[in-house]
Structure formats: structure tokens, C-alpha cells
């Protein structure tokens, strides 16, 4: 039997990295077993039915290279099947109408000294359907339901502890629990792979499955949650988790996928950074961890840096475009000053110094700005310009040498070296700080030779004046 998995997000705005990880693991499982994945949008709640939310799911998945064989299907478009299923459950006595609001049910519970929750108040009351009625599923009073989870092993729930949950809202719309069972059955889903936060809903779906007589159940696998530094489930509200945001900040899709694959799973040979094809080959659902994983951007930065350095330089230049032309980010220089040929020249040096594409402008800004800012409070300035008392003499020396030096990297370098030798001081770093504004960066002189002599002289004078 070929495996069929589904990625079934609720359309609640941008896709976050946790959902992306779920999608990825479904996809990895499908790819590694020669099966297929379908995409299904779980929009049974009317509030979630917004077309822009669909784009927010499809675009990032596509960007990551996660593909699906069918869909997107919309649960909202399958509503009639779900309504029929609810009707069937009422008919067969598995479900009943209830006209209590949540507040009323809680009040009854507290009056009766029972723990909060719904205690089957409307069971067997012969309540007729009406405008304010919901339909609740009658959970068995005895017995237990056992999930054979591929990742977690056996998980047991006592039926008596499951309350009679709502399967149809008072507006007539069935809830996702019904839709889940019906759609998974109709779509021939063999494996349900999703976050651990849904583990508690699984017994309810299984109960519905049996009551509707839907046949063989899928196998379940509940993935460990992705958490923040406080070990809380990643949340859109408090954490920086938009997948698209990461991509537009200069993280490469391949690096993102590689990093995500490493959260909750690892290759048996300890080789972490590798092509997706190898990951598919090695991926085993049963080897996925149980413990939650911290989404560590520091590690992502490293992986992303590795991927960037591995790029052919032409590709690097291509990918850099939005960042050097200010399409998605601000650039610190006047756009008219930007020279793609200069960037192409220094690109290999930049490429091995950035961990995200967004860092590119930082390394080349001094090539396209008229003046560079000096941060007199910075460690760079203090270390290079203040500590050595020869600095004014060094800059004066360079200034006079640069008046008529041949304007090539080699000649400039040699001239600065001579100044240093003559004064018995290190002249390179002060020159770099004066010209670029900082003490760290790409090889200096060939790049500096692309700037007009007068601009370089101005910077040297400006820095000299601050000493």
C-alpha cells in the first residue's frame, strides 16, 4: 500500500516555522516511502476562510521546495459530507443535541461540585434541534482508547475522562474533529503526522472514526513541539517565527529546510549539513525524537553561512540583488552610487563573511557611500585609533603619500606599508578604520582603489580631525 500523508494547517495567517517543520516531516516521510502528500486547508471555522491566508501557506511551502500531489483541498468545501456524518451520528445514537452554552454548563458543574467541563447534561433529555443547539458526541463511559503512535509508542486515554465534545456548532457547522475523521478516511490517509499539541484530540477523532464505521484508521505520529528559549511552544504572538520573514531576511530555503530537518531528527552518521536527497534517504519516522526542540537561530545562522559559502559566486551575486538594490531591505547608500561591477569584484570576499544575505550591505556600504560614519565609542575605534599614539602621524603620512600615489591596490598597499615601516607602527588598521569606518571587513586595497581618490583623501582627513 502506498503511503498517503497530509499537511493540514488551519489558515491563521502567515506560516510559522513550526508548521513548516510539520509539513517538512510529512513530506520527508512521503518522499522516503515513495508515497504522496496532500495539502488540506482546515477552515471549518468561518473566521478562517480568507483567501489571503491560503497564499500565506502555499507560498512558503513552495519556496521551501515542499510539494504535494493533491490539493489544496478545503474542508469548508466538503462541509456537506461533514454535516451528513453528524446527522448519521445523531441517527445512530452516538450524538445528541444540547442547548447549553459553555457558561451554563460550567455553572451546572460548579453547582454540582464537579470539576469544570461538560458532564453530559443534555444526554437522553430528548432535546430537539434548534437555533441555539450544538451536537455533542456521546463518549463511552467505560473502556479506553489506545493510540499506537509511531514516535511515542502506546498512549492510552480513558473514555470516561473524555467529555462529550461538540461536533457541530450552533450555526450548523461541523467542527474539525468530524471533518478530520471524514476527510482522512475519504482521502485515504495512511499516516497522520502532526504536532504533539494535537495528541489529546486524537482519541476523539478515533472515537468518531469507529462510530462512523470509517474502516481502517491511519497510523499516528506526533512530532515533538518546536519551542522558544523559554521552552514554550513557538507562538506567533511572542516569537519571531514567520517562515517568509526568515527567507526575506536572507536565509536560503535549502538551509532552512536542512535546519528544520535537524529539529527532532538527526542522521545516524552525524553529518548534519547535506543535500535534501540524502536527508530523504536517511529519514526514518520511527527515529524522530520525543522531546521538544529549541528553534535556535544561532545554529541556523551557521548552517545558512555554510550554504552561502557553497554557492557558485554567480548565484551568490544573483541572490544578493534584493539586498543590494534595496528591494526588501534598506540600503545605507544612495542607489545612484551603486556599481554592480564593483560588487561582483568583491563578491567572493563578501560571500565567505556573511551568514545571511541581509548582512551583505554591511560589508560593502563603504564602497558606495560618500562619507562613512565613525563610532567614537566603538571598540574598533578605540583599539585602532586611540591606543597607539602614532595614529595622527600615520594618517598624516598616508595622506601625503596618497596625494600622488598610483591609484591601484598594490601601490596603495605598498605606500601604507612604507608609512608604517618609517614610523615603526602598524599602519594598516588605522587606514582601514579611516576608510571603511570599522576594523573588520573584506580585503581592503583593491576594493578601495575603486573609490575616487578625493573621497578616500576626505575620509582620511575626516578621521584625522577626530583624533
Partner RNA sequence: GCCCCCAUCGUCCAGCGGCCUAGGACGCCUGCCUUUCACGCAGGUAACACGGGUUCGAAUCCCGUUGGGGGUGCCA
| Rounded Cα–Cα distance for residues 329 and 48 (Å) | 31
In angstroms, what is the minimal distance from the CB of 39 to RNA? Answer: 13
Quick one: which of 2, 6, 29 has its CA closest to 284? 29
What strands, in cross-sheet order, belong to the sheet with 4-7?
A: 70-74, 36-41, 4-7, 191-195, 219-223, 144-149, 153-158
Q: Is 112 in the site for RNA (CB under 7 A)?
A: no
Q: How far is the CB of 104 from RNA (least distance, A)?
A: 8
HSE of 13, CA atoms in CB hemisphere, 13 A: 8
- Least distance to RNA, CB of residue 265, Å: 6
Report the site for RNA in 355-394 (rule: CB under 7 A).
Answer: none
CB of 464 vs RNA, minimal distance in Å: 19
Query: Is the backbone peptide bond immediately before 72 cis, with ω within 30 degrees of 0?
Result: yes
For RNA, the closer CB: 201 or 378: 201
Angle CA 275–280–286, to nearest 5:
135
* Residue numbers 388-427 binding RNA by CB under 7 A: 413, 416-417, 426
Residues 426-455 that bind RNA (CB under 7 A): 426, 428-429, 432, 439-445
Question: What residues between 326 and 355 interact with RNA by CB under 7 A?
Answer: 352-353
Instruction: Give buried/exposed letters for 220-239 (b at 16+ CB in 10 A, else e).
Output: bbbbbbbbbeeeeebeeeeb
Q: Does 125 bind RNA (CB under 7 A)?
A: no
Does residue 134 belong to the site contacting RNA (CB under 7 A)? yes
Which residue of 293, 345, 401, 423 would you call a contact of RNA, by CB under 7 A? 293
What are residue 195's DSSP bridge partners?
Answer: 223
Contact string (CB under 7 A) for RNA, positions 214-253, x = contact: ----------xx-x--xxxx--------------------
Does residue 265 belong to the site contacting RNA (CB under 7 A)?
A: yes
The nearest distance, CB 228 to RNA, in angstroms, is: 9
Q: Which is nearer to RNA, 329 or 439 (CB)?
A: 439
Site for RNA contains 270 (CB under 7 A): yes
For residue 164, count other CB atoms closer than 10 A to its CB. Answer: 21
Q: Where are the alpha helices (DSSP H) in 65-201?
A: 79-91, 102-111, 176-186
Q: Write down the least CB distance from residue 269 to RNA, Å.
A: 8
Nearer to RNA, 65 or 117 (CB): 117
Name the 3-class secondary structure at 391. Answer: helix
CA–CA gap between residue 459 and residue 448 (Å, rounded):
12
Cβ nearer to RNA, comparing 153 with 403: 153
Return the residue of 13, 32, 35, 48 that touches RNA, per CB under 7 A: 48
Q: Which of residues 62-101 bind RNA (CB under 7 A)?
A: 100-101
Kindly identify the residues of this chain, within the stretch 147-206, that bind RNA according to CB under 7 A: 152-153, 155-158, 161, 165-166, 169-171, 175-176, 196-201
Contacts of 198 (CB under 8 A, 6+ apart): 222
What are the angstrom distances between the C-alpha of 244 and each of 163, 270, 330? 39, 29, 18
Q: Is the dihedral of CA 279, 280, 284, 288 positive or negative?
A: positive
| Residues between 10 and 29 with contacts to RNA, criterion CB under 7 A | 10
Amino acid at each position: 500500500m502506498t503511503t498517503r500523508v497530509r499537511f493540514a494547517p488551519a489558515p491563521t495567517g502567515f506560516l510559522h516555522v513550526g508548521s513548516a517543520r510539520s509539513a517538512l516531516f510529512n513530506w520527508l516521510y512521503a518522499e522516503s516511502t515513495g508515497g504522496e502528500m496532500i495539502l488540506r486547508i482546515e477552515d471549518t471555522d468561518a473566521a478562517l476562510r480568507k483567501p489571503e491566508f491560503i497564499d500565506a501557506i502555499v507560498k512558503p511551502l513552495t519556496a521551501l521546495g515542499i510539494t504535494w500531489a493533491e490539493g489544496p483541498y478545503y474542508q469548508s468545501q466538503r462541509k456537506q459530507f461533514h454535516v451528513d456524518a453528524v446527522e448519521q451520528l445523531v441517527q445512530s445514537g452516538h450524538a445528541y443535541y444540547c442547548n447549553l452554552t459553555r457558561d451554563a454548563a460550567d455553572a451546572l458543574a460548579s453547582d454540582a461540585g464537579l470539576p469544570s467541563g461538560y458532564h453530559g447534561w443534555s444526554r437522553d433529555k430528548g432535546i430537539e434541534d434548534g437555533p441555539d443547539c450544538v451536537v455533542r458526541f456521546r463518549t463511552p463511559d467505560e473502556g479506553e482508547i489506545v493510540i499506537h503512535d509511531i514516535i511515542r509508542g502506546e498512549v492510552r486515554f480513558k473514555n470516561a475522562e473524555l467529555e462529550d465534545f461538540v461536533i457541530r456548532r450552533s450555526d450548523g457547522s461541523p467542527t474539525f474533529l468530524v471533518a478530520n475523521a471524514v476527510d482522512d478516511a475519504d482521502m485515504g490517509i495512511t499516516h497522520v503526522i502532526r504536532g504533539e499539541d494535537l495528541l489529546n484530540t486524537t482519541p476523539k477523532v478515533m472515537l468518531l472514526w469507529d462510530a462512523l464505521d470509517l474502516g481502517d484508521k491511519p497510523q499516528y505520529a506526533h512530532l515533538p513541539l518546536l519551542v522558544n528559549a523559554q521552552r514554550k511552544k513557538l507562538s506567533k504572538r511572542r516569537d519571531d517565527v514567520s517562515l517568509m520573514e526568515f527567507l526575506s531576511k536572507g536565509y536560503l530555503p535549502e538551509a532552512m529546510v536542512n535546519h528544520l530537518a535537524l529539529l527532532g531528527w538527526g542522521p545516524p552518521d552525524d553529518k548534519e549539513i547535506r543535500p535534501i536527497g540524502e536527508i530523504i534517504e536517511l529519514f526514518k519516522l520511527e527515529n524522530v525524537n520525543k522531546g521538544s526542540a529549541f528553534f535556535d537561530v544561532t545554529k541556523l545562522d551557521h548552517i545558512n553561512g555554510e550554504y552561502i559559502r557553497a554557492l557558485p559566486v554567480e548565484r551568490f551575486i544573483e541572490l544578493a540583488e534584493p539586498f543590494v538594490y534595496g528591494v526588501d531591505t534598506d540600503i545605507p547608500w544612495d542607489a545612484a552610487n551603486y556599481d554592480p561591477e564593483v560588487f561582483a569584484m568583491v563578491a567572493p570576499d563578501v560571500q565567505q563573511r556573511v551568514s545571511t544575505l541581509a548582512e551583505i550591505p554591511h560589508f560593502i556600504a563603504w564602497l558606495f557611500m560618500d562619507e562613512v560614519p565613525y563610532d567614537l565609542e566603538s571598540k574598533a575605534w578605540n583599539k585602532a585609533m586611540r591606543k597607539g599614539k602614532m595614529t595622527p602621524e600615520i594618517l598624516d603620512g598616508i595622506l601625503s603619500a596618497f596625494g600622488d600615489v598610483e591609484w591601484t591596490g598594490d601601490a596603495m598597499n605598498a605606500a601604507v606599508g612604507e608609512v608604517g615601516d618609517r614610523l615603526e607602527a602598524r599602519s594598516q588598521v588605522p587606514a582601514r578604520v579611516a576608510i571603511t569606518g570599522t576594523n573588520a571587513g573584506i580585503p581592503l586595497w583593491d576594493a578601495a582603489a575603486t573609490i575616487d581618490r578625493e573621497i578616500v583623501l576626505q575620509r582620511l582627513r575626516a578621521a584625522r580631525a577626530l583624533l
